[in-house]
A = this chain, B = another copy of it.
Amino acid sequence: MIPGPFLLYLGHSDDAVGIKTSRGVAAFRPDECVGEWRHDDCPLTLGLPRMDAAQGRAAGANTLILGIANAGGKMGDALIRDALSAIATGMHVASGLHQRLRDVPEIADAARQAGVQLFDVRDPPANLPVGNGKKRAGNRLLTVGTDCSVGKMYSTLALQRTMVARGITADFRATGQTGILIAGSGVPVDAVVADFISGAIETITPARSDDGWDLIEGQGSLFHPSFAGVSTGLLHGAQPRAIVMCHDPAREHMRGLPHYAVPGIAECIAANLSVARLTSPDVQAVGIALNTVKLPEDEARRLCAQTADAHGLPCTDPYRFGADPIIDWMQTCFDTSTSPMTVSA
């Protein structure tokens, strides 16, 4: 896989959501991150030592992770320049952008000459099948959201931590570039050819006959006009027994689209269950995950309690406060008391 340790790139970004790949790697693989590379006009930080390519290399970094995302995923001139300077120090480069490193001639040439590798983690695997919708065994949970970038990956990883801590077998199934960098495998579903969206998800979550769970990272939102097709195919391919609704209470409009309002949580749960039932008729919503990073703790806890009451579902910020309320409720829903969490069928 991608050789660590990593130098995480923030570049010129001033969009806190846009650096989510770098932030996610820092949060879930902290031991592998030597520093962050940001320019003077970048007001953001991951709390890591600030260093440029040469300093990062001197500190031991083997790979520069271009962990910034922008709609459409194009590479600008500044980013290309910085990638070239990392290559010049002998670092590999990994990217989660739509545009491939190997398709930028200067970068491809420089990497060849320097003998370093380029990792385009948004490359989908070859020979994906068309989805077949056949009922398959196993426990699967999918995180869904009112919008893009509201905490679906963080929530999924937090749910996994809590399950594993309770002795439940739980595997994280990555569907985006950050998740793939963290997990070491997965499918970048938004980069798959449209006909193969649900087939890609069926492939990474094959039937399982143990009592363990596949925890599948959701993408986009049924209510985002740019990306709802991806979310729809993900729901159908996942065949989830359970969904968790992720929401950012501070989001003022749909990401990137000031002309679109964020849907209500209840409306969004209903729409997701309706779409999911096509391939998983008994699907249940088992919890709500709020991203409360912008709220003080007491206010965040109060909002979680209010949201739980309003929707009759456990609600927590799983990354900040742990996922226990949701896992408790899942054990009530699915437990047969012969194992930590068994399929009741």
Complex: A279 Cα to B223 Cα, angstroms: 10
In the complex, residue of chain B having the shortest beta-carbon distance to the beta carbon of A99:
B127
A194 touches B133 (CB 8 A): no
B232 touches A229 (CB 8 A): yes
**A226, CB-defined interface residue at 8 Å:** yes
* A199 and B226 in contact, given A71-B130, A194-B193 (Cβ under 8 angstroms): yes
* A226 and B130 in contact, given A135-B259, A232-B232, A259-B135 (Cβ under 8 angstroms): yes
Please, which residues of chain B bring their CB within 8 A of the CB of A198?
Answer: 225-229
**A189, CB-defined interface residue at 8 Å:** yes
Please, which residues of chain B bring their CB within 8 A of the CB of A130?
Answer: 71-72, 226-227
Complex: A198 Cα to B230 Cα, angstroms: 10
The number of chain A residues touching the other chain, given as a range, is: 35 or more
User: Which residues of A in the span 238-260 have a Cβ within 8 Å of any Cβ on B?
Assistant: 256-257, 259-260
Pick from B71, B133, B225, B279: contact of A278, CB below 8 A.
B225
Please, which residues of chain B bring their CB within 8 A of the CB of A297?
Answer: none
**A91, CB-defined interface residue at 8 Å:** no
A230 touches B194 (CB 8 A): yes
In the complex, residue of chain B having the shortest beta-carbon distance to the beta carbon of A128:
B72
B98 touches A193 (CB 8 A): yes
A156 CB to nearest chain B CB (Å): 19
Q: Can you tell how many copies of this chain the complex includes?
A: 2
Pick from B72, B129, B233: contact of A194, CB below 8 A.
B233
A230 touches B195 (CB 8 A): yes
User: Which residues of A in the span 278-294 have a Cβ within 8 Å of any Cβ on B?
Assistant: 278-279
Complex: A66 Cα to B98 Cα, angstroms: 31
Complex: A132 Cα to B275 Cα, angstroms: 23
**A131, CB-defined interface residue at 8 Å:** yes
A21 CB to nearest chain B CB (Å): 15
A75 CB to nearest chain B CB (Å): 13
A280 CB to nearest chain B CB (Å): 10
B229 touches A133 (CB 8 A): no
Pick from B134, B225, B278: contact of A223, CB below 8 A.
B278
* A191 and B193 in contact, given A132-B226, A132-B257 (Cβ under 8 angstroms): yes
Complex: A59 Cα to B233 Cα, angstroms: 46
**A215, CB-defined interface residue at 8 Å:** no
**A190, CB-defined interface residue at 8 Å:** yes
B236 touches A133 (CB 8 A): no
Please, which residues of chain B bring their CB within 8 A of the CB of A237?
Answer: 225
Please, which residues of chain B bring their CB within 8 A of the CB of A226?
Answer: 130-133, 195, 198-199, 236
Q: Would you mind naming 24 contact pairs between A and B with Cβ atoms under 8 Å apart?
A: A73-B195, A98-B193, A131-B227, A132-B256, A189-B194, A191-B193, A192-B194, A194-B194, A195-B230, A198-B227, A198-B229, A199-B226, A222-B232, A223-B278, A225-B278, A226-B236, A228-B275, A229-B230, A229-B231, A229-B232, A229-B233, A229-B236, A260-B278, A271-B274
